[in-house]
Amino acid sequence: MFSKILIANRGEIACRIIKTAKKIGILTVAVYSDADKDSLHVHMADEAVYLGASPSRESYLVIEKVIAAAKKTGAQAIHPGYGFLSENADFCRACQQENITFIGPPVAAIEAMGSKSAAKNIMAEANVPLVPGYHGDDQNEQTLKQAADDMGYPVLLKATAGGGGKGMRQVWNEAEFSEGFAAAKREAMSSFGDDTMLVEKYLTQPRHVEIQVFCDNHQNAVYLFERDCSVQRRHQKVIEEAPAFSMSEFLRSKMGETAIKSAQAIGYQGAGTVEFLLDVDGSFYFMEMNTRLQVEHPVTEMISGQDLVEWQLRVAAGEKLPKTQEELTITGHSFEARIYAEDPSNDFLPATGQLNLLKTPLESKHVRIDTGVRQGDEVSVFYDPMIAKLIVWDENRDKALQRLAKALREYRIDGVTTNIEFLYNLATTDAFKNADIDTSFIEKNHQAIFHQADEKQHDELLTKQLPTAALYIVLALTNKNKEQAALSNDRHSPWHMTNAWRLNEPHNHSLTLAYNDIDYAITIEQKRQASAVYYQITISDAGTTSHTVDCQGEIEGENITVTIDGHRSQSIVAHHENSISLYQEHGVFSFSHILPDHGENQDDDNHGGLMAPMNGTMVSVLVTPGEHVSKDQPLVIMEAMKMEHTIKAPSDGVVNEVFFSAGDMVNGGAELLDFSTLATSKSEEA
């Protein structure tokens, strides 16, 4: 076994590998960039070596620097984690040339699976079932378009060197092909340095089921069962589970044996994942093989009781697989939810910022958190925006799902926008509970996940959620003032009163809460009946709807118990500055407390300027000053955290001025260009 390894990665996967290495007595070397000099993985490792500037192409992706760090520290092996150089055959070859063990498959296997087109050909020869598509060498756009026309739309364009949803576009009809093709090629070149594409038939109701395989150097191979990864956005996984629901033993065995056959077809060694599309009729098709550890490997560890990183280390050191197929069993059910810095309500745009508050659920045998950040750390524009992975386990799917919902209610992050509320709402939908899931789950359940209000939901908002949030604000203020009064010299001073007392006037609090971009005016009148205090709350939205309820309540820690018109219920509350979120049985409801404007805020006239939705890099400017454009016409393309985002014209108009060029770094909120609608364009004003 190795005595020291270098981890050529960062963040949560680097921390994850370090934990296992420490457990079995292996020293670890971390590498880091400018942005990561104070990061958690650097502090956890026994040694750390500086690689370079923050952009990964100047640090983590520079093979020569990583190899030099390993030689300098005497590391005998390099674990690449996932992403970065993990599936780079040149890096694997460089390790071999320097007599450093690459903790992963051999060069030939990486090369065989590194091209999706070549992988399809190899699998076809091995009689592994494939989705219909074109995987040829002719990269002329017309050739791929003709293939798409022939097989029928929708189709999926995919970068042959890709992964993680990068360089991938759905094309629903012939008219969308050229734009989708160009965008996929740009993103592929940016992420992988290779814009070779393939096109496949897009199945409309598939599940994404993958098999974890392991092979050693002694001709042994096993599969550690399957994971269902169907819930995705932007072709990236959101929540994974193991084992897959509705999976018969026959189908599990058939898919597992096919996965092993796929691995053996390329002489595989180490941990790998064979990904399949599982159709509604039980047929399945090879999609790709990832020649590395997967982000979602913890759910497999939770149901199998095996440490897959330890398996990797032992296989790389020449040992046999720790278990045979017959010795591997499934126990219970596990979910993994990926906590991202992103804004689900704004097309999942990545977010940046400082983690001012980071409070996680308590870890136990049921709850595990894999992370690479601490409170106070910065989520930067340079790397993937994943903050952590929340993994839960219990004896069956229903109980594990209850664990997941509870843990998401207890996860607190402030300072950066996250997808926690989105995950909670998704996991508590009836469709998810009932496993009515395919790869279009989010689109099909958009209204339920994002609480787009129908009439019933709007009534509950007025009669339950808004009164609860408003009462919480008043009670929290009351409790705070009581604490201050107890510490003051005059605890009976009228300045400590919070009952909204006015001479000859009702005791009213007035406030405004915003939900889904709608402002609600709220009046809270404190009343007494006998010796009991209760509150009469009146809610209206722009004067069109008004509703009044009587309620009582009390706060205990992060919980509020309210009785509204005789109905008693509880909510968990996350309250920070001017935001308040209520975690309830059927989802989380988040409100903004709109403070009165006393004249401090002045609206700036931005002359129709279009703003950058996030920090990022300008990839391409598609228009010139003076150009007339149509509504929804692409104007500029930005890249943030390895994903492209196209900013389109909000209406027909004229581009007056462009403020950035391709390659420029752009801060979120910066004015990208000056835009005028046709009715007020500068050319018409003149």
**What percentage of residues in the chain have a pLDDT greater than 70?**
91
- Specify the pairing of strand 236-242 against strand 270-278: unpaired
In the CATH scheme, what is the code of domain 610-685? 2.40.50.100
* Model pLDDT, residue 341: 93
Q: How far apart are CA 197 and CA 178, in angstroms?
A: 13
Look at residues 288, 291, 297, 300 and name the one whose alpha carbon lies nearest to residue 269.
Answer: 291
Query: Which amino acid, residue 287?
Result: M
Reported as a pLDDT band with limits 50, 70 and 90, residue 682 is very low
Q: How far apart are CA 370 and CA 390, in angstroms?
A: 7
**Tens of pLDDT, residues 393-426:** 999 999 999 999 999 988 988 888 899 999 999 9
The highest-level CATH class for domain 455-594 is alpha beta
* Model pLDDT, residue 506: 58
- Say which of 169, 207, 292, 409 is annotated catalytic: 292
Residue 611, phi then psi, degrees to nearest 5: -100, 150
* Model pLDDT, residue 585: 73
User: Do 469 and 513 contact (CB within 8 A), yes or no?
Assistant: yes
Q: Which helix (H) or strand (E) holds 213?
A: strand 207-215
Q: How far apart are CA 30 and CA 43, in angstroms?
A: 9
Residue 502 DSSP one-character state? B
User: Do 106 and 114 contact (CB within 8 A), yes or no?
Assistant: no
**Tens of pLDDT, residues 348-379:** 888 888 998 888 999 999 999 999 999 999 99
Residue 12 DSSP one-character state? H
* Model pLDDT, residue 496: 46
Q: Which residues contact 521 (CB under 8 A, 6 or more apart)?
A: 510, 512, 539, 540, 541
Look at residues 311, 243, 299 and name the one whose alpha carbon lies nearest to residue 272.
Answer: 311
- Specify the pairing of strand 155-159 against strand 197-201: antiparallel
Tokens of 493: 């001073």
Look at residues 72, 81, 74, 76 and name the one whose alpha carbon lies nearest to residue 95.
Answer: 76
Give the SS3 label for residue 205. Answer: coil
Domain positions in the chain are 4-103, 132-201, 207-449, 455-594, 610-685
Query: b/e map of 296-334 (b: 16 or more CB within 10 Å)?
Result: bbbbbbbbbebbbbbbbbbbbeeeebbbeeeebebebbb
CATH 3.40.720.10 holds for 207-449: no
Give Rg (Cα) of the chain.
28
pLDDT above 80 for 2: yes
Helices (H) and strands (E) counted in the chain, each on its own, are: 19, 39
**What percentage of residues in the chain have a pLDDT greater than 90?**
52
Residue 356, phi then psi, degrees to nearest 5: -65, -35
Q: Identify the top-confidence range among 222-231, 575-584, 614-623.
A: 222-231
Query: Which amino acid, residue 219?
Result: Q
* Model pLDDT, residue 603: 43
Tokens of 67: 């190899």
CA angle (337 as vertex; 167, 647 as ends), nearest 5: 40
User: Do 232 and 277 contact (CB within 8 A), yes or no?
Assistant: no
Query: Which amino acid, residue 104?
Result: G
Q: Of the given ranges (122-131, 289-298, 384-393), which has the lowest mean pLDDT?
A: 122-131
**Tens of pLDDT, residues 489-516:** 665 555 445 555 444 555 678 889 988 7
| DSSP state letters, 429-482 | SHHHHTT---TTHHHHTHHHHTT---HHHHHHIIIIIHHHHHHHHHHHHHHHHH
**Tens of pLDDT, residues 49-100:** 999 999 899 999 999 999 999 999 999 999 999 989 999 999 999 999 999 9
Handedness of CA 62, 65, 68, 72 (dihedral sign): negative
Q: Of the given ranges (163-167, 492-496, 627-631, 643-647), which has the lowest mean pLDDT?
A: 492-496
* Model pLDDT, residue 493: 56
CB atoms within 10 A of CB 677: 15
Look at residues 483, 680, 457 and name the one whose alpha carbon lies nearest to residue 584.
Answer: 457
User: Do 513 and 470 contact (CB within 8 A), yes or no?
Assistant: yes
Residue 596 DSSP one-character state? -
Q: Which residues contact 530 (CB under 8 A, 6 or more apart)?
A: none
* Model pLDDT, residue 460: 80
* CATH number belonging to the domain at 4-103, selected among 3.60.15.10, 1.20.81.30, 3.50.50.60, 3.40.50.20: 3.40.50.20
Tokens of 302: 């939770």
Among all chains, which residue has been given the structure tokens 């050319």?
683
Average of per-residue pLDDT across 26-41: 97
* Model pLDDT, residue 487: 63
pLDDT above 70 for 456: no
Asked about 502 being catalytic, the answer comes back as no
CA 279 to chain centre: 25
Q: How far apart are CA 447 and CA 172, in angstroms?
A: 22
Peptide bond into 243 cis (omega under 30): yes
What beta strand segments (E) does 577-659 contain? 579-584, 587-594, 610-611, 616-621, 628-629, 634-640, 643-648, 653-658
The highest-level CATH class for domain 132-201 is alpha beta
